[in-house]
């Protein structure tokens, strides 16, 4: 399974169960993936449960990269797909897993570095984490039994992606688009937040609401690397103008 210029990475946010992490590693091996990223894991990755569940794919757990924050785990990625059924009123691109996979080749560039994100066993992904993702994808279930075990969700998702891309004729088109990675966007939003605070535009009672809305706007705009440089240039000019006013 190949997406863009490299295989997608799988990101687990604060997994609690060693059996789940081992199970995910085993599934990754089954479907030809090798890069696992863990954000603040809460389980024993070196214990017998994880090893026994992962079996011959335990090397994926051993090689997994550990991160303190979700932002750090996606900083080098250009497209981040969140598996979540949470309702978010921000018009972020979203849909069912099958809908997304069927249109995957038309929305990703051959140069994209892609991450597939799965949330905590108990509460899934938090709102601030979802806001950093480009796509929100859900697995439809019966309304009376909507919660899916983490390992089960990973198995369904990776199977769908594998079916779509195991055939070379389904490869992602070489779109003429170079997208900025999440690290650049994070820097931009940090500076923009400070600027909006300085000009008293931010709502003090809910300072993160504007940031979340702007994240959603940027995701829908799907800016490329050149457009991101233009936004940085505009931001720098405004910052410099404000500094000159302050020094007068």
Whether residue 126 is predicted with pLDDT greater than 80 in this model: the reply is yes
pLDDT in tens, 37-69: 999 999 999 999 999 999 999 999 999 999 999
Q: Do residues 121 and 16 touch, judged by C-beta distance below 8 A? A: yes
Asked which of 77-91, 149-163, 192-206 is least confident by mean pLDDT, the reply is 77-91
One fold for 9-170 and 182-247: no
Give mean pLDDT, residues 87-97.
70
CATH class belonging to 182-247: mainly alpha
SS3 content of the chain, % helix, strand, coil (to 5): 50, 15, 40
* pTM across the whole model: 0.81
Give mean pLDDT, residues 21-38.
96
pLDDT class for 5, splitting at 50, 70, 90?
Answer: very low
Domain boundaries, the chain: 9-170, 182-247
Half-sphere exposure of 35 (CA within 13 A, CB side): 14
Nearest to 7 by CA among 36, 45, 27: 36
pLDDT in tens, 194-243: 888 888 888 777 767 777 788 888 878 888 888 989 999 999 999 999 88
Q: Which residues of 126-164 are buried (b: 16+ CB within 10 A; e: fewer)?
A: eeebbbbbbbbbbbeeeeeeeebebbebbbbbbbbbbeb
| CATH fold for domain 9-170 | Alpha/beta knot (3.40.1280)
SS3 of 214, please?
helix
Cross-strand pairs, 50: none
**Which strands form 135-138's sheet, in the order they lie side by side?**
65-67, 36-39, 9-13, 114-118, 79-83, 135-138, 94-96
Which whole-number Å values give the CA distances from 11 to 73, 127, 200, in the listed order?
Answer: 8, 16, 36
Render 46-88 in DSSP notation, one character per residue. Answer: TSHHHHHHHGGGHHHHHT-EEESSHHHHTTT-SEEEEE-----
């Amino acid at each position: 399974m190949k997406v863009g210029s490299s295989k997608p990475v799988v990101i687990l946010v604060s997994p609690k169960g060693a059996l789940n992490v081992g199970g995910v590693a085993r599934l990754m091996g089954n479907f030809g993936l090798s890069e696992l990223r863990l954000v603040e894991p809460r389980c024993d990755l070196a214990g017998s449960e994880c090893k026994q569940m992962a079996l011959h794919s335990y090397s994926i757990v051993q090689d997994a990269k550990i991160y303190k924050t979700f932002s750090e785990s996606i900083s080098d990625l250009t497209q981040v797909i969140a598996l979540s059924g949470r309702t978010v009123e921000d018009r972020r691109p979203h849909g069912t897993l099958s809908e997304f996979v069927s249109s995957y080749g038309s929305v990703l560039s051959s140069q994209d570095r892609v991450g597939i994100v799965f949330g905590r066993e108990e509460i899934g992904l938090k709102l601030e984490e979802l806001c950093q993702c480009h796509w929100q994808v859900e697995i439809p279930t019966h309304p009376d039994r909507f919660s899916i075990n983490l390992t089960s969700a990973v198995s369904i998702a990776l199977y769908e992606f594998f079916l779509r891309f195991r055939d070379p004729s389904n490869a992602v088109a070489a779109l003429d688009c170079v997208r900025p990675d999440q690290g650049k966007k994070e820097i931009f939003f940090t500076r923009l937040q400070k600027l909006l605070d300085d000009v008293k535009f931010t709502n003090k009672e809910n300072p993160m609401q504007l940031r979340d809305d702007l994240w959603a706007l940027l995701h829908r705009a799907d800016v490329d690397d050149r457009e991101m440089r233009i936004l940085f240039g505009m931001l720098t000019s405004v910052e410099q103008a404000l500094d000159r006013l302050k020094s007068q």
